[in-house]
Amino acid sequence: MIELRRAIALAVVALLALSSGMAVASPPKSKTPAAVPAAPPPPPFEPLPPPKVYLFRGAMGPLFSTGMDRLGEKLTQAGFSADVYEFTLCRFIGSRAIASYKEKAAPIVLMGHSMGGLCSIIISEMAAKENIPISLVIAIDPAHATGDVPLNVERFINIFLSDSVLGGGDVVAVPGYRGHYASYDLKENARVTHINIEKSDDIHRQIVQMVTQLPRIPPQTQADAVPLRYLVPADTLVELWDSGVRVPVRRGDTMESIAAANRVPLWTLAQSNSLPENAPLTPGQTIIVPRHLTPPEPAAAMATPPPPPAGKK
């Protein structure tokens, strides 16, 4: 009898274990997958505060860089904080600009003529060490010793004379630079010299317009920014493009039709793409077209100051 009870107990235990194992092994009930919430739309772009503009004269600036003073006055009249300094104060002013940005972030704009152009790059390098961006740098015939454009500069424009002894700085960007870059060599314009290249009222007008629009421009994808390097033809109107963009060629497009559609001179397409002005195009290829930071005014800018009225010297 005892043996029989023990056998029955063992059988019950075995049945319970088997039942438990089957319960564990049974597949879980399928569940309806939860809906993935849609990504929230990006926040609307908020305009940046007005930029602070720092302008630097070259050597003997009060005599030979007076155009920087006139440009500073025009920027001040347009409502901006714009101060003009001697290049010898470069690092001191750079430290003040960095401290001001840390206290209240506002876009930094640097402009310099001759040694002042070199100074603009030095301050940009100082800011790079502090992880501070520089919104715009404009160098006007900077000195040959001017360094490369660092990665923290969002937009760089160089207007220079490559054959100038006093300036002539053909400034390039460091490897890996992803910002907007445009270089204009005016050596073929016989009316432009190192001591008048910074005095053009039309170039001033474009710069003031560029600084005015700078805080209102949503961040552009830098991956599609193509650097521009131009040897500007003699006596040619100068427009300050900030970089290039690749445009696909459609059936029937020509170099001339693309230039007209984008309101740019034909010579810019020829130089940007290393093609003759009448080069045949194939649908599907891309053409580099210069683009403005802002839409151009109806009147393009001249590279030199207008001549004095007749009868005046």
Rounded Cα gap, residues 82 and 62, in angstroms: 17
CB atoms within 10 A of CB 79: 9
Instruction: Assess if residue 92 is contained within a domain.
Output: yes
Instruction: Assess if residue 3 is contained within a domain.
Output: no
Average pLDDT estimate for 62-66: 92
| Mean pLDDT rounded to a whole number for the chain | 84
Last residue of a domain, one of 196, 215, 240: 240
Instruction: Assess if residue 87 is contained within a domain.
Output: yes
The CA-to-CA distance between both ends of the chain, in Å, stands at 137
Same domain, 91 and 214: yes
Task: State the DSSP string of 171-214.
Answer: --BPTT--SEEEEEE-TT-TT--TTTTT--HHHHHHHHHHHHHG
CA quadruple 89, 115, 56, 73: dihedral positive or negative? positive
Q: Are strands 180-185 and 228-231 parallel, antiparallel or unpaired?
A: parallel
Same domain, 104 and 236: yes
Same domain, 233 and 251: no
Structure tokens that stand for 58 in this block: 């070259």
Same domain, 69 and 98: yes
- Structure confidence at residue 214 as a pLDDT band (50, 70, 90): confident
Same domain, 198 and 265: no
Same domain, 156 and 93: yes
Same domain, 75 and 223: yes
Structure tokens that stand for 11 in this block: 């059988």
Last residue of a domain, one of 224, 240, 256: 240
Same domain, 231 and 280: no
Instruction: Assess if residue 136 is contained within a domain.
Output: yes
CATH of residue 168's domain is: 3.40.50
Instruction: Assess if residue 258 is contained within a domain.
Output: yes
Instruction: Assess if residue 189 is contained within a domain.
Output: yes
Structure tokens that stand for 234 in this block: 């003699």
Structure tokens that stand for 192 in this block: 């432009």
Does residue 301 carry a pLDDT above 60? no
Same domain, 235 and 245: no
Rounded Cα gap, residues 136 and 156, in angstroms: 6
Same domain, 205 and 268: no
Same domain, 235 and 262: no
Regarding pTM above 0.95, the answer is no
Which residue in 59, 129, 52 sits closest to 93, CA to CA?
Answer: 52
- Structure confidence at residue 40 as a pLDDT band (50, 70, 90): low
Average pLDDT estimate for 21-35: 48
Does residue 44 carry a pLDDT above 70? no
Structural domain span for residue 64: 52-240
Q: Could you read off the pLDDT of 117-168 as tens digits, one per residue?
A: 999 999 999 999 999 999 999 999 999 999 999 999 999 999 999 999 999 9
Same domain, 208 and 70: yes
Instruction: Assess if residue 37 is contained within a domain.
Output: no
Q: Can you give the pLDDT at residue 139?
A: 98
Q: Can you give the pLDDT at residue 220?
A: 53
CATH of residue 274's domain is: 3.10.350.10
Last residue of a domain, one of 196, 211, 240: 240
Enclosing H/E stretch for 260:
helix 255-261
Instruction: Assess if residue 96 is contained within a domain.
Output: yes
- DSSP character at residue 290: E
Rounded Cα gap, residues 29 and 66, in angstroms: 82
Domain total in the chain: 2
Q: Can you give the pLDDT at residue 248?
A: 95
